[in-house]
């Protein structure tokens, strides 16, 4: 049987795919990334990375490079419309968790990962759009690209997001479920807000009219993201989402809606919004999947392809980094354990943590609810948020302990 270590093909050059390539390279496992687009992704907006993801980037010797290219912070505050502090949420902590949180533009992080790949001679091929799996044996998997060419590898990994094409091989009839909600975000200069001296951002300001998120970005925090959730209702096709994104005046109007019920900083924030700084993020979910690998274990899905997580706790990309790193550690141990056992442990370990993140999401959503809705919830619904399980996990030790237990 061909060793799974022989070569790995990764479909998708987003953050999951690129970090997986670097993690495999660290395990001396040959791999190639295939990307459908002709050039690197240039997706707008920023991501927030918490200690569980940053320790992965640190293990890949990338953290020190990216830390200085983003905005470092430790807490996110929840306030009501009067400015009263409701709760403080830890997104990191140098003293407590080893890492402050990091908010970094997605394209900056992708560019940095691509630079590291070039330095380490990890191969990436652009303009290669995955079409379908042709065949899978105990030894290898063969697939076809849209251009009609075929390729084979020991393992094929779908790191191609929530609308994964690779996932169709495992689940031909599955389509992500639209939640009916979308995040509408824009970016403006921080100075425009005229923040009072000592006013802490990032902050979520909640009133009976909804919640408004303000998050600094850029190394010096000189720009802020503004965001609200919008009920869209029906799912849209690609053209529908493009129409919504193209309606800049409609998006401006939505962000300005009801701002008279919010503090002055919100009114200042929406007073002048650049039309080229909008993003529309539809929220989709994927049901809990029975397996993240094909029966012959030559096709794997991970990240959003396996478990799309709503953005409430900002853990979507952070959980993908966990997937990637633990998968690479286990693949590096397949001379000591079977592939079947390794994949079973990987999915069970990761699913437990994803389930806990979903509960964390629920707790955060409760905190964003208007008071009238929250009052209708059963007593005791809102629980204290504790994050050491999320930020202080030792992935390397957990894998080593499991491998040792198999002997």
Note down the domain range covering 241. 182-283
| Residue-wise pLDDT tens digits, 372-400 | 777 788 888 888 899 999 999 999 999 99
Across the range 207-233, mean pLDDT stands at 93
Residue 263 sits in the same domain as residue 321:
no
What pTM was estimated for this model as a whole? Answer: 0.94
In a 10 Å sphere around its CB, with 0-12 CB exposed, 13-18 middle and 19+ buried, how is residue 178 labelled?
A: middle
Q: Are residues 115 and 197 in the same domain?
A: no
pLDDT digits (tens, 9 = 90+) for 9-66: 999 999 999 999 999 999 999 999 999 999 887 777 899 999 999 999 999 999 999 9
Q: Are residues 136 and 217 in the same domain?
A: no
> Comparing C-alpha atoms, which of 125, 139, 138, 130 is closest to residue 169?
130
Query: pLDDT band at 1, cuts 50/70/90?
Result: very low
List of residues 6+ apart from 3 with CB closer than 8 A:
154, 334, 335
322 and 382, same domain (yes or no): yes
Q: Which two tokens stand for residue 202?
A: 């990032």
Has residue 191 got a pLDDT over 70?
A: yes
Give the model's pLDDT for residue 3.
Answer: 59
Q: What is the mean pLDDT of the chain?
A: 94
* pLDDT-derived band at 4, boundaries 50, 70, 90: low
Edge to edge, what strands does the sheet with 71-73 contain? 46-49, 101-105, 71-73
Phi then psi for residue 223, to 5 deg, are -130, 150
Q: Is residue 323 domain-shared with residue 401, that is, in the same domain?
A: yes
Identify the CA nearest to 300 among candidates 121, 158, 89. Answer: 158
Q: In the structure, what pLDDT confidence band is assigned to residue 2 with cuts at 50, 70 and 90?
A: low
Report if residue 243 sits inside a domain: yes
Distance CA 285, CA 395 (A): 26
Mean pLDDT of 221-240: 91
Q: Residue 82 domain-assigned?
A: no
Same domain (yes/no): 210, 172: no
Q: Are 190 and 221 in contact (CB under 8 A)?
A: yes
Residue 291 has pLDDT above 80, yes or no: yes
Interval 292-321: pLDDT, tens: 999 999 999 999 999 988 888 889 999 999
């Amino acid at each position: 049987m061909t060793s799974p270590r022989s070569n790995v093909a990764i479909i998708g050059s987003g953050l999951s795919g690129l970090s997986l390539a670097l993690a495999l390279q660290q395990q001396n496992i040959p791999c190639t990334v295939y990307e459908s687009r002709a050039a690197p992704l240039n997706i707008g907006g920023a991501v927030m990375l918490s200690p569980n993801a940053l320790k992965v980037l640190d293990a890949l010797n990338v953290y020190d490079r990216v830390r200085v290219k983003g905005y470092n912070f430790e807490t996110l505050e929840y306030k009501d419309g009067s400015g009263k502090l409701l709760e403080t949420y830890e997104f990191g902590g140098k003293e407590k968790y080893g890492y402050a949180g990091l908010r970094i533009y997605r394209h900056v992080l992708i560019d940095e990962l691509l630079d590291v790949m070039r330095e380490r001679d990890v191969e990436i091929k652009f303009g290669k759009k995955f079409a379908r799996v042709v065949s899978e044996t105990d030894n290898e998997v063969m697939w076809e690209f849209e251009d009609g060419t075929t390729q084979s590898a020991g393992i094929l990994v779908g790191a191609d997001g929530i609308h994964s094409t690779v996932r169709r091989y495992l689940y031909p009839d599955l389509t992500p479920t639209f939640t009916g909600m979308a995040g509408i975000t824009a970016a403006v200069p921080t100075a425009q807000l005229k923040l009072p001296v000592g006013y802490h951002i990032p902050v979520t300001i909640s009133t009976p009219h909804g919640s408004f998120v303000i998050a600094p970005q850029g190394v010096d925090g000189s720009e802020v993201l503004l965001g609200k959730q919008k009920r869209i209702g029906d799912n849209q096709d690609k053209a529908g989402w493009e129409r919504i994104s193209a309606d800049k005046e409609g998006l401006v109007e939505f962000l300005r809606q009801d701002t008279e019920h919010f503090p002055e900083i919100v009114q200042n924030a929406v007073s002048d919004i650049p039309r080229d700084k909008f993003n529309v993020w539809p929220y989709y979910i994927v049901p809990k999947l029975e397996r993240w690998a094909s029966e012959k274990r030559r096709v794997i899905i991970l990240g959003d392809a396996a478990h799309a997580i709503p953005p409430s706790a900002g853990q979507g990309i952070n959980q993908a980094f966990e997937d990637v790193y633990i998968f690479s550690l286990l693949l590096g141990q397949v001379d000591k354990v079977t592939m079947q056992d390794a994949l079973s442990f990987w999915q069970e370990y990761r699913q437990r943590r994803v389930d806990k993140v979903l509960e964390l999401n629920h707790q955060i959503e409760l905190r964003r609810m208007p008071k009238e809705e929250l009052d209708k919830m059963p007593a005791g619904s809102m629980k204290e948020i504790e994050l050491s399980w999320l930020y202080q996990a030792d992935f390397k030790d957990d894998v080593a302990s499991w491998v040792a237990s198999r002997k």
